């Protein structure tokens, strides 16, 4: 059923993902290049830390898809070796060093799991709607936990970066809150707990939302989406690059060194030096 807007005209829900909303908040210029400019500007080279993260995520997802009897730590290591993405590393030696590091972390992480504890979803796409947005996203793992009071769905997100996230990161994550809301609505079960599992350190940052805190995140998502929708309209209604630049200002800072579109952004280049593709790896 379409939503009614002004003058009884059907108003389209704004389709979005948490990543899209985050991109707008981080830098409107980067948002434009990622989601609106077509053809999209050429991105910089792949990042080794992203390759490592994707390799680990794929191995863990593949592990849960194995038959129960095959889910042991060596199987996770084999999956990682087979699916290793070697892009972005300085050379084969560096790639191999980080493969070995990743093997250790995956083996350690999987050793602490109960393979029989079947998740409710692995890399599961969930979606939900409000009066103004249709938001969707993919959850790394959706646990179906046994608690004294019954069963509860828990959103699990894997992290492989250098710094372990803390409780504040978990509590303030728009993406995790939207995943929890969407998972709860799709599966019609309570889902208020979100966790960040940092594989390099083994630390887990956890937060239990309330319906109110989830509602606040949802309203924030709607507000950000409304800004995106306005900006998208402005973009569609002009083909003058200068005006598009005004509607999508560059938010330059130290982070520009990591931006995929730095080569197309004078402000970002002036903000600091480019990072090498392997600079995001742990030393
Ligand atoms: S280089 Fe910086 S300012 Fe430019 S698009 Fe990227 S994040 Fe934005």
pLDDT tens string 10-28? 568 999 999 999 999 999 9
Per-residue pLDDT of the chain (283 residues; tens, 9 = 90+): 444 445 556 568 999 999 999 999 999 999 999 999 999 999 999 999 999 999 999 999 999 999 999 999 999 999 999 999 999 999 999 999 999 999 999 999 999 999 999 999 999 999 999 999 999 999 999 999 988 888 899 999 999 999 999 999 999 999 999 999 999 999 999 999 999 999 999 999 999 999 999 999 999 999 999 999 999 998 988 777 666 788 899 999 999 999 999 999 999 999 999 999 999 999 8
pLDDT (tens digit per residue) in 73-110: 999 999 999 999 999 999 999 999 999 999 999 999 99
Rounded Cα gap, residues 18 and 171, in angstroms? 15
Q: Which two tokens stand for residue 253?
A: 């800072």
DSSP state letters, 56-119: HHHHHHHHHHS-GGG-SHHHHHHHHHHT---TT-SSHHHHHHHHHHHHHHHHHHHHTS-TTS--
Domains and CATH numbers, the chain: 45-116+252-283 (no CATH), 121-218 (3.90.320.10)
Full-model pTM: 0.94
Around ligand 1, the residues with Cβ closer than 6 Å are 27, 29-30, 250-252, 256, 259, 261-262, 265, 267-268
Q: How many angstroms does the Cα of residue 45 sit away from the middle of ligand 1?
A: 16
């Amino acid at each position: 059923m379409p939503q009614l807007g002004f003058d009884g005209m059907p108003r389209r829900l704004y389709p979005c993902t948490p990543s899209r909303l985050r991109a707008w908040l981080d830098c409107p210029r980067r948002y434009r290049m990622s989601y609106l400019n077509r053809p999209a500007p050429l991105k910089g080279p792949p990042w080794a830390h992203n390759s490592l993260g994707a390799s680990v995520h794929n191995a863990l997802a593949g592990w849960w898809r194995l038959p129960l009897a095959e889910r042991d730590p060596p199987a996770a290591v084999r999956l990682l070796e087979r699916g290793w993405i070697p892009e972005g590393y300085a050379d084969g030696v560096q790639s191999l060093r980080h493969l070995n590091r990743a093997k250790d972390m995956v083996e350690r992480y999987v050793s602490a799991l109960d393979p029989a504890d079947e998740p409710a979803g692995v890399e599961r796409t969930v979606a939900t709607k409000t009066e103004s947005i249709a938001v969707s996203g993919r959850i790394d793992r959706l646990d179906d936990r046994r608690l004294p009071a019954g069963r509860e769905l828990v959103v699990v997100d894997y992290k492989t970066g250098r710094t372990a996230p803390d409780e504040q990161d978990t509590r303030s994550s728009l993406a995790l809150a939207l995943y929890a809301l969407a998972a709860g609505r799709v599966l019609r079960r309570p889902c208020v707990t979100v966790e960040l599992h940092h594989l390099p350190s083994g630390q887990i940052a956890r937060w239990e939302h309330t319906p109110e805190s989830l509602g606040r995140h949802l309203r924030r998502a709607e507000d950000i989406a409304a800004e995106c929708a306005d900006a998208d309209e402005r973009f569609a209604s002009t083909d003058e690059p200068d005006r598009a630049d005004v509607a999508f200002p560059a938010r330059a800072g130290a982070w520009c060194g990591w931006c995929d579109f730095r080569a197309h952004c004078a402000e970002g280049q002036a903000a600091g030096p480019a990072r090498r593709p392997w600079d995001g790896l742990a030393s």
